[in-house]
Structure 1
Amino acid sequence: MSPGDDYPSVALHGVAELAEPDWTDAGDELRRLPDGVAGNLNVAARDRIRHPAGCEVRFVSRGGGPVRLTLSAAAETVVRPFWGTFQGETVLELGPEPTDVELSVPEPLTDLSPAAAAEAAGAFDPLVCRLRFEPWAPVALHDVRGECRPPEPDEVPDRRYLAYGTSITEGAAASATHLTYVSRVARDCGLDPVNLGMSGAAYCEPAVADHIAERDDWEVATLSLSVNMANRGFTVEQFRERAAYLVETVAASDHDRPVVCVTLFPYHADLRESGDRERARAYREALASVVEGCGSGNVSLVDGRELSPADGLTTDLLHPGDAGMESIADGLAPRVADALDG
């Protein structure tokens, strides 16, 4: 059964499975991976896929009338309404107590000229309401009331971009989920993003590789590999072996789907006097050798150091802030577009 079957009047984007939340007696928790996949991952990854990075509830109001949704979250978090690519003026606060939110099409969007509507639509129709969740806490949907429907295929992007990686991919230090490099690349390229970033837990596990390869809902993928393994004591050879299985499995799933691999962004190992520059270099060279030896024409490599200047990092010298996310997207989006066009 599809996750959306319980809520036929909306689309649950980026949601692979619904589960019972552990902070409330009702509702359905939005999860980014099926339990059968998550059960074969490390404990931290099992927790992170409960956090709805890049997940959205989408709908189109029938007649523009109000739509009411009931939502809750395991801890304090927010959800940001967008209308197509137009950012809503309000930020909705959520917590463990189920909260009702009411959304109507903003009046100015009902009066767009045809030319302005065509220019503004981009890959999304401006009348598509998108509730965009932050990765701060697990979220549950309880109820949808009002006259609405899921978006039609021509009202959303016709191609999807899947991103796997660490907290940098998940968007840990971005001010909001729409400011992550994944969201920015998707917007720049007219793609629909699927975020499989796993903060502190991107260990290139075979279960992730098999899952991504088996999915038929993406046309291009980026694999950002993997500062988590470098920081968690995996040897270079262990990283090489796991990265090779991941890259080769995903690439072989469909040779018409490009796979862009990204080496380590600049981080504390490169920048601190006490940093292990040799280890960072060896990790980057290991991924480069995996891509070179892959033998699939749909795989390419990007050096993460070329995408993220050091002054775009936060003070932990690991996570890109908003400026760093923008820089990564500015460099990565053309590579993704070229891969799709090639």
Structure 2
Amino acid sequence: MHSDTYPSVSLHNVAETVPADWVDGGAGTDGIAGIAGTDGTTETDGTTETTETGDRLCRVPASVGANLNVDARERLRHPTGCEVRFVPECDDAVVSVTLSAAETTVFRPFWGEFQPSEPLELGPTPTTFEFVIPERIPLLDDATTRAGAFSPRVCRLRFEAWAPVAIHDVSGDCRPPTADELPDRCYLAYGTSITEGAAASATHLTYVARVARGLGLDALNLGCSGSAFCEPAMAEHLAGRDDWDIATLALSVNMANRGFTLAQFRERAGTLVNAVADAHPNRPVACVTLFPYHADVIRGDDAERAAAFRSALRTIVADSPHDDLHVIAGEDLMEPTALTADILHPGDAGMEAIGRGIARRLDELLD
């Protein structure tokens, strides 16, 4: 997203900004400067002032959220997979970005695909962070510089999913990344908390992020924890987007666990899947069946229901006239022991396995 308010950066996976409701105008801000050391993230003390409430990063427009269930509406106002991106104009340029979050959280300033050594902490008080290109980035050899899908000169402030985040100000000599500094193809993912990455240790360890990195894609994460109900407004929104090249629709353990009937699932999932495929008949869309979860392995749970939901999604794809609509068997992507102890959400091992399996299949579809 291009923002006239912040023209020197791009806001990735952000469809709209709205005023942050946790910030009082005129609050002081603690400055944290990440400008020394080899990774550009050491801290110093400082104070500045702001009179802006800040602009909360939202993944879909309010007009879409208004027609979703309340939980989905709120989840999509969280910064899952959102990034503030910029390129310093010279090696010693200092770029200041003021941010806040509704509650204490962390974010990570990646340089291209290079991970920082430590995350930076963020909270309700607007805080100014300063960034310069880490000292070794300009010295990379040409082969390494070209190896990643992102230029290592692109600073990517990558936010965790679980606290709303706002941007308040950007200053310094920087610009948005150009197309040749970014991946040339984009991966769109819709699904549940598993797609959001609920139990991953960090946002860059979700299966969506792993697929994107493995295939050199840019990721658009539209996971909705506890609320991926395949609603008509989401079907219309996904179908109307034209900013992706390949998509996965992981449908939907939320509907299996929240009392939807199998007939309701067939109707809603069928409408969503076919809406996306109708609008983009030449783009690969992969429907991912339920990953292994407690229904499959807990004594007295409902394995038959889980199997029926998987079968229904396969039938939706089989009955569709679209040649570029596919199925990925989520139940085959990981062992149940790669789940967390809730026997629902994949842990880091599960995210790795899912990411590897989906990437392998999408790589075939992209050829």
TM class by shorter chain equals over 0.9
Matches for 1:144-163 after TM superposition, within 5 Å = 144-163=170-189
**What is residue 225 of structure 1 aligned with on the other side?**
251
One-letter identity of the residue aligned with 1:102: E
Matched, 1:131 2:130: no
State the one-letter code of the partner of 2:136.
P
Q: What TM-score, normalized by structure 2, do the two folds share?
A: 0.91
Q: Secondary structure at the match of 1:257?
A: coil
CA distance in 2, matches of 1:308, 1:236: 24
* Counterpart-to-counterpart distance in 1, 2:145 and 2:322: 41
Aligned partners of 1:80, 1:239: CA distance in 2, in Å? 37
Name the structure 2 match of 1:195. Answer: 221
Q: Secondary structure at the match of 1:186?
A: helix
Query: Which residue of 340, 344, 359 corresponds with 1:318?
Result: 344
Instruction: Report the equivalent of 1:333.
Output: 359
The aligned amino acid for 1:6 is T
- Structure 1 partner of 2:304: 278
Q: 2 CA distance for matches of 1:237 and 1:3?
A: 41
CA contact (8 A) 1:3 1:15 kept: no
Deviations 1:285-327 (A, max 9, x none): 1101101011100100011111121011000000000000000
Counterpart secondary structure, 1:320:
coil
Equivalence for 2:54: 27
Query: Within 5 Å, which residues of 2 pair with 1:253-332?
Result: 253-332=279-358
Q: Is the 8 A contact 1:3 1:17 kept in 2?
A: no
Residues 49, 198 of structure 1: 8 Å contact kept: yes
**2:94 maps to 1:66:** yes
Q: Which has the larger radius of gyration?
A: 2
- Secondary structure of the structure 1 residue equivalent to 2:136: helix
TM-score norm. by structure 1 comes to 0.97
**TM superposition shift of 1:3:** 5.2
Answer yes or no: is the 8 Å Cα contact 1:3–1:18 preserved in 2.
no
Indicate conservation of the 8 Å contact 2:2/2:10, yes or no. no
Are 2:109 and 2:157, in contact at CA under 8 Å, matched by a contact in 1?
Answer: yes
2:108 to 80, 92, 107: 80
Instruction: Give unpaired runs (5+ residues) of structure 2.
Output: 25-52
Structure 1 position 167 matched with structure 2 position 193: yes
**2-structure distance, mates of 1:3, 1:311:** 43
Q: Distance in 2 between matches of 1:41 and 1:136?
A: 19
Which letter does structure 2 place at the counterpart of 1:297?
A: D
Contact 2:192–2:224 under 8 Å retained in 1: yes
Q: Deviations over 1:201-246 (max 9, x none)?
A: 0000111111011111001110000000000000001001000000
- Residue 90 of structure 1: how far off its partner (Å): 2.8
8 Å contact from structure 1 (residues 67, 102) kept in 2? yes
Q: Say if 1:10 and 1:148, in contact at 8 Å, map to a contact too.
A: yes
Q: Which residue of 1 aligns with 2:140?
A: 112
**Structure 1 CA distance for aligned equivalents of residues 274 and 334 of structure 2:** 26
More helix by share: 1
- Is the CA contact (8 Å cut-off) linking 2:106 and 2:159 kept in structure 1? yes
Give the aligned residue type for 1:39: A
Q: Secondary structure at the match of 1:18?
A: strand
Gaps of 5+ in 1: none
**Distance (Å, rounded) in 2 between the aligned partners of 1:312 and 1:90:** 26
**Aligned position for 2:6:** 7
Maintained 8 Å contact 1:308/1:324: yes
State the match for 1:95 in structure 2.
123
Give 1:336 deviation, angstroms.
1.0
Q: Which amino acid aligns with 1:210?
A: E
Q: CA RMSD in A?
A: 0.9
Letter in 2 for 1:133: F
Q: In the aligned structure 2, how far is the partner of 1:171 from the partner of 1:67?
A: 30
Cα displacement (A) at 1:89: 1.9
Secondary structure of residue in 1 paired with 2:78: coil
